[in-house]
């Protein structure tokens, strides 16, 4: 299980004074706090579901999933001295017939927490494409999947950061009323603890976690 770290950031945001945004890319922290807390609730909800029953996994059709993603670049980063913590929206599609999981993570926002310093929420442009080159459902188990990802994120004050890696995922939950259809799956989780972040010649580790539900 991946540890979703942004709820701790949310607690710090609650303690931080709210301020207006500006041309430096900073955001009022109250705009981010609700999003972090609701994202953490969704992540917990999905993470608490067991894997979809093997015998009920669909082999045809497709399912659409929406949820939250957390992307981090290590605190010891050569790219940013305090590290980066970002939350984004995840839109995912599982094509059970083709055996592929694809999607997009976008609408990123970030939070920087420094020792003895105010919390700073910042805007992030760009997106991460999931499943652009390689993806497979079922190789490691009927309800498991793998998929690659890559993207470029433009962060005010940090510049463009390229991220890439591979996600290990699982379909979770079994909706009894939808047996035999793609909607039998309630959600999915996907995690990469070995994200590679680059900025020119600088390179650092990080992570990406996705939690999404099929309504």
pLDDT digit string, tens, across residues 99-124:
999 999 999 988 765 555 555 677 88
H/E element, 85 = strand 84-95
Better pLDDT: 21 or 89? 89
Better pLDDT: 203 or 184? 184
| Separation between Cα atoms, residue 67 and residue 141, nearest integer Å | 23
- The domain limits of the chain are 6-213
Q: What is residue 27's predicted lDDT score, i.e. its pLDDT? A: 53
Q: What is the pTM of this model?
A: 0.86
pLDDT digit string, tens, across residues 12-30:
444 344 444 444 455 555 6
pLDDT digit string, tens, across residues 47-73:
999 999 999 999 999 999 999 999 988
Residue 31: pLDDT band with limits 50, 70, 90: low
Residue 78 has pLDDT above 90, yes or no: no
Q: For the chain, how long is the longest CA-to-CA vector?
A: 55
What percent of the chain lies above the pLDDT cut of 90? 56
Q: How does 45-64 read in b/e, with b if 16+ C-beta sit within 10 Å?
A: ebbebebbbeebbbeeeebe
């Amino acid at each position: 299980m991946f540890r979703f770290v942004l709820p701790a950031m949310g607690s710090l945001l609650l303690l931080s004074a709210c301020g207006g945004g500006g041309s430096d890319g900073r955001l009022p922290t109250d705009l981010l706090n609700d999003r972090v807390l609701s994202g953490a609730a969704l992540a917990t909800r999905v993470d608490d579901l067991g894997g979809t029953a093997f015998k009920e996994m669909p082999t045809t059709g497709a399912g659409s999933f929406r949820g939250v993603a957390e992307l981090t670049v290590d605190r010891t980063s050569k790219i940013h001295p305090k590290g980066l913590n970002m939350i984004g929206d995840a839109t995912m599609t599982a094509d059970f017939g083709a055996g592929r999981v694809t999607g997009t993570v976008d609408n990123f926002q970030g939070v920087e927490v420094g020792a003895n310093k105010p919390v700073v929420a910042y805007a992030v442009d760009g997106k991460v494409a999931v499943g652009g080159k390689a993806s497979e459902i079922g190789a490691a188990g009927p309800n498991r999947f793998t998929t690659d990802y890559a993207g470029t994120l433009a962060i005010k004050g940090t510049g463009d950061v390229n991220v890439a890696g591979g996600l290990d995922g699982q379909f979770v939950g079994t909706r009894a009323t939808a047996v035999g259809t793609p909607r039998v799956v309630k959600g999915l989780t996907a995690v990469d603890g070995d994200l590679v972040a680059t900025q020119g010649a600088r390179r650092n580790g990080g992570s990406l976690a996705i939690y999404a539900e099929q309504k």
